[in-house]
C-alpha cells in the first residue's frame, strides 16, 4: 500500500474506555456529571476570587488561572468522548485530532507551570514574608502567568508540528479516548525515531524543570519550617501550603501513574483508564481541595452564597 499524508477527510477511531456497546450509556452517565461538577467547581473558584476583594492576592490570582487551565484541559479531552458515547461513534477527523493534541499539551503544560509558579509563591510567602509584597508584585505575577502561557504555546506548537509530519497508511485505531502524540507516533508508518526523541526531550524539559522547581521550593519551605521552635507554629505555617501540596501530589502522582502503568503493563487499556485520573478526576477535585482546606476561601464562598441568597 502506498504511504501518503493523512488529510482532513481521513479519520481516526478513538476506541475509548470500552468497546462494549452496553457500557456506553453507563460511561456517559458517569462522566457527564463529573465533567459538569469540574466545570462548575472551577468556575465557582474564579467567581469567588473575582468578587471578593479579600482574595485579591497573588496566590488566588494564580489559582484562578489554574482553574481556567483545568477547565480547558478537561474540556479538550472529555467533551469529544462524551459526544462519541452519545452518538455511538468513535471517529475523529485528522484536523480535530491535531487540534486536540495542541490543546492537550497547551493546557497540560500550563497546569504544570502554574503549579510551579504557585510553589514559588509559597516559598517567598513562608521564607521571605517581610519582602513578599515587594518580590511578588503585580508585574511579576503577570509576567509569570504570561511566561507560562508562552512556554505552553511553544510546547503545544512543537507537538502539533511533529504530529503533522507523520505519515499514516490507513484509517487508524487509537486505543485511547483522546488523541495523544505518543499514540499517534506509535501508529505512524513513517520513520518515527526523531519524533520519539523529540517527545522524550520535551518531556524531560517540560516535566523535569517544573518538578525540580517544586521540589526545591518545598525543600526550602521545609527547612524554614523546621527552624520554627513552636510545634503549633510549624503546623500553622505548613498548613498554609497544604492545599497546593495536595494538588501537586494529585496532579503529578496520577500523571506518573499513567506512564508507569503503560511501561509495566502490555495492555493499553490500563494507561487509558489511568489517564481518566489526571484528565478528569484531578481537575474535578482541585476546587474541593482549595475550598475545603482554605479558611479564607470557605469564608469567601459563604459570603458569596449569602449575597446571592
Identify the bridge partners of residue 14 per DSSP, sorted by sequence position. 174
Identify the bridge partners of residue 174 per DSSP, sorted by sequence position. 14
pLDDT at 265 over 60: no
Pick the CATH number of 11-308 from 3.40.630.40, 1.20.140.10, 3.30.1280.10, 1.20.1070.10: 1.20.1070.10
The three three-digit cell numbers of residue 197, written as one number: 526523541
Give Cβ neighbours of residue 50 (< 8 Å, ≥ 6 apart): 64
Torsion over CA of 117, 247, 41 and 98, rounded to 10 degrees?
70
Distance between CA atoms of 97 and 247, rounded to whole angstroms?
A: 29
Quote the pLDDT of residue 5.
46
The three three-digit cell numbers of residue 58, written as one number: 497573588
**Tens-place pLDDT, residues 28-71:** 999 999 999 999 999 999 998 888 888 888 989 999 999 999 99
Distance between CA atoms of 144 and 240, rounded to whole angstroms?
A: 21
Distance between CA atoms of 46 and 56, rounded to whole angstroms?
A: 11
Quote the pLDDT of residue 117.
95
Quote the pLDDT of residue 3.
42
Quote the pLDDT of residue 269.
62
User: Taking residues 264-290, what's their average pLDDT?
Assistant: 75
Distance between CA atoms of 280 and 23, rounded to whole angstroms?
A: 19
Looking at per-residue pLDDT, the higher value among 4 and 204 belongs to 204
User: Taking residues 159-169, what's their average pLDDT?
Assistant: 86
Distances (CA, A) of 52 to 44, 67, 130, 304: 12, 17, 24, 8
Looking at per-residue pLDDT, the higher value among 26 and 229 belongs to 26
In the DSSP assignment, the letter for residue 91 is E
Identify the bridge partners of residue 13 per DSSP, sorted by sequence position. 91, 173
Quote the pLDDT of residue 262.
55
Give Cβ neighbours of residue 233 (< 8 Å, ≥ 6 apart): none
Identify the bridge partners of residue 144 per DSSP, sorted by sequence position. none
**Tens-place pLDDT, residues 135-156:** 999 999 999 999 999 999 999 9
Burial class (CB in 10 A: 0-12, 13-18, 19+), 154: middle
Identify the bridge partners of residue 93 per DSSP, sorted by sequence position. 11
Sheet holding 91-93, edge to edge: 91-93, 11-14, 172-174
- Beta pairing, strands 91-93 & 172-174: unpaired
Amino acid at each position: 500500500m502506498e504511504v501518503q499524508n493523512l488529510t482532513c477527510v481521513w479519520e481516526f477511531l478513538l476506541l475509548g474506555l470500552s468497546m462494549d456497546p452496553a457500557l456506553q450509556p453507563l460511561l456517559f452517565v458517569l462522566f457527564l456529571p463529573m465533567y459538569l461538577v469540574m466545570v462548575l467547581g472551577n468556575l465557582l473558584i474564579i467567581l469567588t476570587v473575582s468578587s471578593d476583594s479579600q482574595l485579591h492576592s497573588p496566590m488566588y490570582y494564580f489559582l484562578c488561572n489554574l482553574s481556567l487551565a483545568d477547565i480547558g484541559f478537561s474540556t479538550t479531552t472529555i467533551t469529544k468522548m462524551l459526544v462519541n458515547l452519545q452518538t455511538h461513534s468513535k471517529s475523529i477527523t485528522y484536523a480535530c485530532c491535531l487540534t486536540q493534541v495542541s490543546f492537550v499539551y497547551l493546557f497540560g503544560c500550563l497546569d504544570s507551570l502554574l503549579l510551579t509558579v504557585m510553589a514559588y509563591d509559597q516559598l517567598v510567602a513562608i521564607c521571605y514574608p517581610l519582602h513578599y509584597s515587594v518580590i511578588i508584585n503585580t508585574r511579576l505575577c503577570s509576567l509569570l502567568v504570561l511566561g507560562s502561557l508562552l512556554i505552553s504555546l511553544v510546547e503545544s506548537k512543537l507537538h502539533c508540528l511533529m504530529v503533522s509530519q507523520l505519515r499514516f497508511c490507513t484509517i487508524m485505531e487509537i486505543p485511547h479516548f483522546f488523541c495523544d502524540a505518543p499514540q499517534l507516533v506509535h501508529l505512524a508508518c513513517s520513520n518515527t525515531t526523531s519524533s520519539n526523541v523529540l517527545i522524550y526531550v520535551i518531556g524531560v524539559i517540560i516535566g523535569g524543570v517544573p518538578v525540580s522547581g517544586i521540589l526545591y521550593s518545598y525543600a526550602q519551605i521545609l527547612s524554614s519550617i523546621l527552624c520554627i521552635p513552636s510545634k503549633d507554629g510549624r503546623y500553622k505555617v505548613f498548613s498554609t501550603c497544604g492545599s497546593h501540596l495536595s494538588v501537586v501530589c494529585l496532579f503529578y502522582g496520577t500523571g506518573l501513574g499513567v506512564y508507569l502503568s503503560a511501561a509495566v503493563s502490555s495492555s493499553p487499556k490500563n494507561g487509558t483508564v489511568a489517564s481518566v485520573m489526571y484528565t478528569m478526576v484531578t481537575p474535578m477535585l482541585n476546587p474541593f481541595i482549595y475550598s475545603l482546606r482554605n479558611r479564607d476561601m470557605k469564608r469567601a464562598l459563604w459570603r458569596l452564597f449569602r449575597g446571592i441568597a
